[in-house]
Chains A and B, each alone.
Chain A
């Protein structure tokens, strides 16, 4: 339920103005408690919302599912999304779809008291509103927003302490990494998250925005595509040659994709420093695609790849 933006000002003022007209006020004395109650109600609803605890939470987003479990609200989660592969405790829960295909009927039947969904799922939101089910709208943004989301979500669910502790841990991890790499020269890095198997076609790399870029910077890397203000950039071979990254990091999320990430495909671009110096690195793991509690570990892996000379 969205907080009601009420205007209580005029009411309060008008009440104060009536101070002089005692006769009238005593005549209306029966109204005063009523007015007070009205005032209190409006004040309450327009102030920062204080939610009741959410005990039956459905999360269809991998990041928020991980966050909920990591902040100690795992026992409140009754269903998860199709692609929520972590943590292991969650895997036994029923899956109710994801971004494109949330199973609305099933979700409604489970009678949740909070649904964590994507900000873009407008149709889904409308259906939940009609069924009077509250939702938390998640937007996938940058690295800094992860801890902010943790805190907001924790508050919304009613596990503030756990959420704040979690956010604090992640922030400390990131701060520690930033500190360690702070006096190292950041190597020019190309962060590739998608490529056609065994070839250099349809290469997608991180641009100057988004959480992959932020992780790269936190890990002490300089993004060669930082001047392109997009989350993803399709790279032509010419572009890769021209930008001449010193390190190429390929990210793969699931074991099935690893074979296709045959790194020898890069060898045709012999003039690229990363290729010449054998600094084409494959990192696997879902933590690279889920902006959640494991982002500290993911950033650490990136930092280890970029700065192996610092012992990790």
Chain B
């Protein structure tokens, strides 16, 4: 029986449980790596930073990585959960509507044009990547504006898939025109990398991510209702058109920030909401915060594996998430869902 205190209690339990585990993972992760450091030396204030290798490894190499992984993981998981509710499809992902493809295209244009500038400490590739994501969002948004009231979100889905296909094709075309070096660079970028090495790109990504979170905060209950169907949601009092727009913009900003920071890392946006729903149920007031927290710790853990498993060589983090993602889906399939 769902007792009247249950929702509050479940929310508290969820936040506490996922919050604690995420905190734990994020505190431990910078302590582990392919090289060994001494914690005592890291926090030894008497040594100037320029002489303290251990501190540099901790604060310059590892910590930005963990923070970036946290943001990218949370961002992708949140937008995955939102897209799955918005499109009423548990297999939707941040890639479905083309935002990720737009970000990829933006990055590829920079990599193949050999573009070369920075803006406020952020280098060109993350900037053009984010611009590409916003461009894709603008196109999909324009499509959604053209929707008549009462038309199903199938239009949005089909339009988004078409945009994604077009942008992916454009990206492939750019790759085709590229020479060997440029192709090499784009292939590397496509594998994803969280080794940011500095805090500027992280801070920059917090702007769109923060905006996205403001939008996300208004969405949880509304997503529950929208997942019943647009008319069903409207009939219960949801301003569906406005809610879908907020969801679309927030999820796209979040995806854009994540892909610009770490490259297109697959499966996080699909797996994490799924796992979270298996644990906390379908109520998005639990699913959204839990996805953010679990997404962060999941990617931090994957990055940890990626940078230690075959040290001194690193495996691109996208491969680790895919290695986990594939079997996960097989397991889901055989579970008899």
- Report A's interface with B, CB cutoff 8 A: 82-83, 98-100, 194, 196-202, 225, 227-228, 230, 233-234, 236-242, 244, 253, 256-257, 259-260, 262, 268-271, 276
Given A236-B34, A241-B56: A198 and B61 within 8 A (CB)?
A: no
Given A197-B124, A270-B50: A99 and B197 within 8 A (CB)?
A: no
Q: Can you name 6 extra interface pairs (CB under 8 A) apart from A83-B180, A198-B124, A199-B198?
A: A82-B179, A201-B197, A233-B313, A236-B314, A260-B116, A268-B198
B195: chain A residues within 8 A (beta carbon) = 200-201, 236-237
Cβ-defined partner of A269 (8 Å) among B33, B60, B307 = B60
Cβ-defined partner of A197 (8 Å) among B57, B123, B313 = B123
Q: Is the CB of B61 within 8 A of A228?
A: no
Q: Is the CB of A239 within 8 A of B50?
A: no
Between B114, B118, B197, B313, the greatest number of chain A beta carbons within 10 A of the residue's beta carbon is seen for B197
State how many residues of chain B have any CB contact under 8 Å with chain A.
39
A241 to B188, CA, bound (A): 22
A277 to B201, CA, bound (A): 27
Q: How many A-B residue pairs have CB under 8 A?
A: 107
User: Nearest residue in A to B315 (C-beta to C-beta)?
Assistant: A234
Cβ-defined partner of B312 (8 Å) among A196, A233, A268, A270 = A233
Q: Is the CB of A271 within 8 A of B314?
A: no
Q: Is the CB of A242 within 8 A of B197?
A: no
A242 to B54, CA, bound (A): 8
Q: Name the interface residues of B108-128: CB closer than 8 Å to any CB of A.
A: 114-118, 123-125
A86 to B118, CA, bound (A): 33
Q: Is the CB of B124 within 8 A of A201?
A: no
User: Nearest residue in A to B35 (C-beta to C-beta)?
Assistant: A242
B124: chain A residues within 8 A (beta carbon) = 197-198
24 of the cross-chain contacts (CB-CB < 8 Å) are A82-B179, A83-B180, A98-B180, A99-B180, A100-B180, A197-B115, A197-B116, A199-B201, A200-B197, A202-B193, A227-B312, A234-B188, A236-B61, A238-B33, A240-B61, A241-B57, A242-B34, A242-B35, A242-B53, A269-B197, A270-B49, A270-B56, A271-B50, A271-B51
A81 to chain B, nearest CB (A): 11
- Cβ-based interface call for B288 (8 A): no
B291 to chain A, nearest CB (A): 27
Q: Mark B289-328, 1 if CB is under 8 A from A, else 0.
A: 0000000000000000001000011100000000000000
Q: Is the CB of B57 within 8 A of A234?
A: no
